[in-house]
């Protein structure tokens, strides 16, 4: 009689054991999924920062080009701004090759930067 109950109990024990294993597996899978999601989130954060850095760099580039062009007395500073905005680094190269050459000095009247060779300051109009 004892032997009989042991034989009957064995399948239940196996089922119970396999259910426990399954639960463990699910928990492990869930943990792995959570870790993967966390990794993806960190990755997304990195790309977000990268994206922000690219935008900040572009804005700095546009500000540089606009100020440099107006310091050099170029009337088309806004056009150069648009060129660099649309073409990016290539636009910057084109700008650097085609801008008015010469050293920038500080204007004695308005303290803005102007070309050393220019006859008049592009900011205040003084010689
Ligand atoms: Zn000036």
> pLDDT for 71-90, tens place per residue?
999 989 999 999 999 998 89
CA–centroid distance, residue 113 to ligand 1 (Å): 7
Q: Is residue 30 over pLDDT 90?
A: no
Q: 3-state SS string over the chain?
A: CHHHHHHHHHHHHHHHHHHHHHHHHHHHHHHHHHHHHHHHHHHHHHHHHHHHHHHHHHHHHHHHHHHHHHHCCCCCHHHHHHHHHHHCHHHHHHHHHHCCCCCEEECCCCCCEEECCCCCCCCCCCC
Please give the average per-residue pLDDT across 18-22, as a whole number. 67
Q: What is the pLDDT of residue 4?
A: 56
> pLDDT for 89-107, tens place per residue?
899 999 999 999 999 999 9
> pLDDT for 63-72, tens place per residue?
999 999 999 9
CA–centroid distance, residue 106 to ligand 1 (Å): 8
> Residue ranges of the domains in the chain?
2-101
CA–centroid distance, residue 45 to ligand 1 (Å): 45
CA–centroid distance, residue 110 to ligand 1 (Å): 4
């Amino acid at each position: 009689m004892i032997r009989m109950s042991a034989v009957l109990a064995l399948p239940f024990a196996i089922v119970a054991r396999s259910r426990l294993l399954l639960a463990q597996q699910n928990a492990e899978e869930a943990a792995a999924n959570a870790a993967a999601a966390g990794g993806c989130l960190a990755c997304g954060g990195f790309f977000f920062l990268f994206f922000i850095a690219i935008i900040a760099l572009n804005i700095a580039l546009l500000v540089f080009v606009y100020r440099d062009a107006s310091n050099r007395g170029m009337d088309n500073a806004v056009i150069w701004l648009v060129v660099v905005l649309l073409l990016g680094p290539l636009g910057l190269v084109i700008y650097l090759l085609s801008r008015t050459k010469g050293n920038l000095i500080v204007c004695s009247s308005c303290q803005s930067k102007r070309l050393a060779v220019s006859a008049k300051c592009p900011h205040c109009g003084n010689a």
